[in-house]
């Protein structure tokens, strides 16, 4: 059985179908109505959405929020690693998913104990479908990797340690 499970719609505690709270056409019609009135601002708040329309020098600005505007949870990234004295941290240039090999099923770029140059590629970080090489950044011996393969990492996170 494939892994598809039905979960409740985020905003639906009544069991009734969700309805698009405000289509772009609705907003345009609302604005043509407001344009005929001495009104520069409209705030509308329902259980399902909030709409704020503000008139500026060049036209209207709209802010719509469906459901809560509380920031979404960000994915939990690997814990920060302290770099011991005498070692250099190899850092991820971008936030994303860190990979040790060029593609699944292929050998890693480098292994623990391998010697590296400053520009040796030790891994890839995938951010928004774009792959960026992670270079050792220092010549020496790659002591160990600090995060497992295919781990979510923050920008500048230490992914490996090099002994110069």
Partner 1 sequence: MSASEPGRIRRLLVANRGEIAVRVLRTCCRLGIEGVLTVTDADARSLPARLADRVVRVPSYLDVDAVVTAARTCDALHPGYGFLSENPALATACAAAGVRFVGPSAATLAAAGDKLAAREHAVAAGVPVLPGGPADSARAIAAEIGFPLLVKAVGGGGGRGMRRVADPASLDAALDEARAEAGAAFADRRLYLERLVDAGRHVEVQLLGDGVRVVHLGDRDCSVQRRYQKLLEEAPAPHLDARLRADMHAAAVALGEHLGYRGAGTVEFLVHADGFAFLEINARLQVEHPVTEAVTGLDLVAEQIAIAEGQPLRMAQDDVTVTGHAIECRLNAEDPDRGFAPSPGTVTDAAFPAGEGIRVDTHVQTGTAVTADYDSLLAKLIVHGPDRAQALRVLRDALARTTIDGIATTIGLHAAIVADPDFATGAVPTGWLPEPARA
Residue with tokens 């059985």: 1
- The answer to whether 154 touches 97, Cβ cutoff 8 Å, is no
Sequence-distant (6+) residues with CB within 8 A of 99 are: 123, 124, 125, 126, 149, 150
Q: Does 103 bind partner 1 (CB under 8 A)?
A: yes
> Near partner 1 by CB under 8 A, which window of 21-29, 83-91, 110-118, 142-150?
21-29
Query: With contact defined as beta carbons under 8 Å apart, do 95 and 156 qualify?
Result: no
Site string for partner 1, 48-87 (x = CB under 8 A): -----x--x-xxxxxxxxxxxxxxxxxx------------
Q: Is 101 in the site for partner 1 (CB under 8 A)?
A: no
Tokens of 131: 């792959």
- 126 lies in the site for partner 1, by CB under 8 A: yes
Distance in Å, CB of 34 to partner 1, minimum: 10
Angle, vertex CA 161, rays to CA 103 and CA 115, nearest 5: 75
Query: Which candidate, 56, 121, 126, places its Cα nearest to that of 97?
Result: 126
Contact between 37 and partner 1 (CB under 8 A)?
no
Select the residue interacting with partner 1 from 78, 94, 139, 143 (CB under 8 A): 94
Sites of contact with partner 1 (CB under 8 A): 1-12, 17-21, 23-24, 27-28, 31-32, 53, 56, 58-75, 94-97, 102-103, 126-133, 152
């Amino acid at each position: 059985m494939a892994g598809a499970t039905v979960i409740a719609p985020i905003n639906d505690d009544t069991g009734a179908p969700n309805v698009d709270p405000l289509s772009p056409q609705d907003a345009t019609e609302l604005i043509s109505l407001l344009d005929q009135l001495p009104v520069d601002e409209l705030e509308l708040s329902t259980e399902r959405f909030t709409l704020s329309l503000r008139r500026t020098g060049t036209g209207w600005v709209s802010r719509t929020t469906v459901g809560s505007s509380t920031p979404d949870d960000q994915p939990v990234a690997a814990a920060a690693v302290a770099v011991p004295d005498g070692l250099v941290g190899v850092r991820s240039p971008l936030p994303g998913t860190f990979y040790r090999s060029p593609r699944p099923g292929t050998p890693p770029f480098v292994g623990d104990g391998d010697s590296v140059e400053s520009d040796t590629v030790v891994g890839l970080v995938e951010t928004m479908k774009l792959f960026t090489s992670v270079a050792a950044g220092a010549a020496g011996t790659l002591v160990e990797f600090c995060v497992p393969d295919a781990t979510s990492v923050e920008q500048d996170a230490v992914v490996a340690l090099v002994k110069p």
